[in-house]
Amino acid sequence: MPELPEVETVRKGLLDFLPLKINKVERTPELASILKTEEFSLKGLTISSLERKGKVLIFHLGNGKTVVSRFGMAGSWEVSEEKNKKKHNHLQLHCTSSQGAVFLSYVDARRFGKMHIGYQEVTKRELAKVGVDVTTEEFNEKVLRDIFKKYPDRQIKPLLLEQEKLAGIGNYLACEILAHCKVRPTRRCKTITKEETKKMVWATKKVVSESIEKNGLTFTKTTGYRDVLGNAGEFFDGLVVFRQKLCKMCGDGPVKKIVLATRGTFYCPQCQK
DNA sequence: CAATCGACCTGCTGGC
DNA sequence: TGCCAGCAGGTCGATT
Ligand SMILES: [Zn+2]
């Protein structure tokens, strides 16, 4: 269920343990459906740096060796001092980290995640499918305007979710961004004004950065997204429409829920035009 | 070609 | 309380 802020929080959490030398690899048979590429063994390699583009996390292990990880709806990386005995732990790496001996695990109950263990070429190929990351300098008004020009008849909200166009936005971020720039999710791109486009860039930067500051969003108490040490994200109170009854911007508008491209979509008819 | 829509999985939530 | 349909933060591939 991770969007850009959750993946970034996981990345930052792992940074504290670098370098991570992998001494032993344990895996379940179910990893096979997640692991799309396997060009070498991880045993004996050392994770030296971590990169992120949109919702994709990239591990660098030296000599052009990389791991590309997409979390799907329920996947995440966890660090523990004790062996991680969680039910859906499909890959457990016994490591020596800068903090001592730890276990690095990829846990994914629904197995919608994808992983590639491959050389630079694989990373390059995978990242080529990913559009402009919304946290980069590259993301600006022109990028959005060009997309709108190219897809004039499409509804804005499903378009925001497409990672080949903009990278990092998922369902909650899309709803929140559109609320903050006061644009209804059903609006066709060609009807979005220059002023609204400008505001959408601002809203994207605002919502994404605020969620990152809060270490992402956790919904359910028991399950759902956690950082590498098992802590919940605290962005819940920052939501203004997503899964809300009342709009938190105007304070009294009842939030409407519709379905767009099979995804639950929330907006305030009072605030958003 | 672009756009929509079910399929992939497990587990929580809410209504009866 | 128990059961069970409906739904979930995301892609993909097949089909229109
Ligand atoms: Zn409102």
Q: Summarize pLDDT for A109-124 with one digit per residue, the tens.
A: 999 999 999 999 999 9
Instruction: Quote the pLDDT of residue A220.
Output: 76
> Model confidence over A89-107: pLDDT tens digits?
999 999 999 999 999 999 9
Average pLDDT over every residue of A117-140: 96
Q: How far apart are CA A76 and CA A68, in angstroms?
A: 13
Q: Which residue is nearest to nucleotide B2 (CA to C1')?
A: A151
Q: Ligand 1 (ion): which residues have CB within 5 A? A: A 247, 249-250, 253, 268, 270-271
Alpha-carbon Rg for chain A, nearest whole angstrom, is: 19
Among residues A163, A236, A233, A173, the alpha carbon closest in space to that of A206 is found at A173
Instruction: Quote the pLDDT of residue A222.
Output: 74
Among residues A178, A256, A176, the alpha carbon closest in space to that of A217 is found at A176
Average pLDDT over every residue of A199-226: 93
Domains along chain A with CATH numbers: 4-127 (3.20.190.10), 133-267 (1.10.8.50)
Instruction: Quote the pLDDT of residue A172.
Output: 97
Whether residue A21 has pLDDT greater than 80: yes
Instruction: Quote the pLDDT of residue A146.
Output: 96
Question: Ligand 1 center to residue A177 CA distance, Å?
Answer: 13
pTM over 0.95, yes/no = yes
What's the Å distance between residue A265 CA and nucleotide B15 C1'? Answer: 22
- Exactly one of A52, A53, A55, A114 is catalytic; name it: A55
Could you tell me if A240 and A249 are in contact, meaning their C-beta atoms sit under 8 angstroms apart? yes
Contacts of A150 (CB under 8 A, 6+ apart): none
Instruction: Quote the pLDDT of residue A253.
Output: 86
Strands, E assignment, chain A: 20-27, 35-38, 46-47, 49-53, 56-60, 65-70, 75-80, 89-97, 100-108, 114-119, 132-133, 166-167, 256-260, 263-267
Percent of chain A exceeding pLDDT 90 equals 97
Predicted-complex ipTM score: 0.94
Confidence at A158, pLDDT banded by 50, 70, 90? very high
Average pLDDT over every residue of A186-191: 96
> Model confidence over A243-257: pLDDT tens digits?
999 999 999 889 999
Whether residue A153 has pLDDT greater than 80: yes
Confidence at A227, pLDDT banded by 50, 70, 90? very high
